[in-house]
Structure 1
Amino acid sequence: MLGVVRERPAHGFAIAALTARGGELGQVWQMPRPVVYRALSRLAEAGLVEPAEVESEGGPPRTVYAITPTGRAAVDEWLATPVAHVRELRSHLLMKLALLDRRGLPVEPLVTVQRAALEPVLAALADEREHAEGFPSVLLTWRHGNVAAALHFLDGLLG
């Protein structure tokens, strides 16, 4: 949500539309409207966004939030940081890629650091798998395949 407000000031209704089932960002993360409004309040309390204006064009008044310098720094740092766990690729990494794309920013720096973060994981899993037997071997094979697939995906993004 903070990444959306980083793009331009927005009100909760607009953010909820983006993160709804059919919304552009809802393809990655879906957030119901009440969650969006609660999160905006929390972000404001944390000093990451601030009310900028109130719109009331033919409907109920809507508070438009703008990002603060602290919020801007937090988003920029988050967008540059690789995800820590393979299970977060589906949600966190894809959201980062979507937000970078929406802003017209290159994805290659993030993809490169994400790839570098996964390479040692793949090597460690391969080492563990060599010494495992039974179901632990099956599980390690599964995990190794997931990391290998993630690296293949990232390589595809790098072209």
Structure 2
Amino acid sequence: MVWGLPEWTVLAVLREGPLHGFAVAALTAADGELGRIWQIPRPVVYRALKRLEDGELVSPSAVEAGSGPPRTVFGVTAAGAAAVEGWLGEPVPHVRDVRSHLLVKLALLHRSGRDDAALLAAQRQVLDRILRKLDEAVDDGGFGDVLLDWRRSAAAAALDFVQRRSAR
């Protein structure tokens, strides 16, 4: 199964400890710790939980009663923990996803007190490769020049960010 950023984010948050969907949604809301990077609407959080449960990466561990409807608490399975561990170490393959995917991964690593050096080193290699390919690309004299210039600039900026973070 191919997971999107909502599933991976929910899975990584649950790896930190069991939570119910409402608590995960609060973290990924506009004013939440992760939401300031990338927001996940509450219905999308609940859909992600369902997909992760169907994929046997999370399982219900308790039900909390309160003034509102009961809230199911989910925990990560062994397969879920292994999957998210691998995902957190994978560099982002496209420059366009650095702003969302890489920053979310860095935030999740930071939340768990883990070192991000290996992820940043792997990301640097990916961005170096992308920049080399872009430098070898031939301008076509039309709008392709504009697009190529944009891609080079974006990749160089992403690489600069990764290098500066790695140096800290």
Please tell me the TM-score bracket, short chain as reference.
over 0.9
Aligned to 2:93: 84
- Which segments of 5 or more consecutive residues in structure 2 lack a partner in the other structure? 1-9
Q: TM-score, normalised by structure 2?
A: 0.89
Q: Which runs of 5+ in 1 are unaligned?
A: none
Aligned pair count reads: 158
Query: How far 1:36 moved relative to its partner?
Result: 1.2
1:126-141, aligned counterparts within 5 Å?
A: 126-129=135-138, 131-141=139-149
User: How far apart in 2 are the matches of 1:133 and 1:45?
Assistant: 50
Q: Which moved more, 1:9-18 or 1:29-38?
A: 29-38
Q: Which residue of 2 aligns with 1:151?
A: 159
Give the CA RMSD over aligned residues.
1.3
- Cα offsets for 1:66-112 (capped at 9, x unmatched): 00011001100100001111001011111101100000001111000
Q: Name the amino acid aligned to 1:134.
A: G
Alignment of 1:79-118 (within 5 A): 79-118=88-127
Look up the match of 2:72: 63
Deviation at 1:15, TM superposition (A): 0.3
What amino acid does structure 1 have at the position aligned with 2:137? Answer: E
Q: Secondary structure at the match of 1:104?
A: coil
Aligned with 1:64: secondary structure? strand
For 1:141, give the aligned amino acid: D
Q: Secondary structure at the match of 1:22?
A: coil
Taking structure 1 as the reference length, the TM-score comes to 0.94
Q: Distance in 2 between matches of 1:31 and 1:141?
A: 32
Q: Deviations over 1:104-143 (max 9, x none)?
A: 00111100000001101101111114x5423222221111
After superposition, residues 8-87 of structure 1 pair within 5 angstroms as: 8-87=17-96
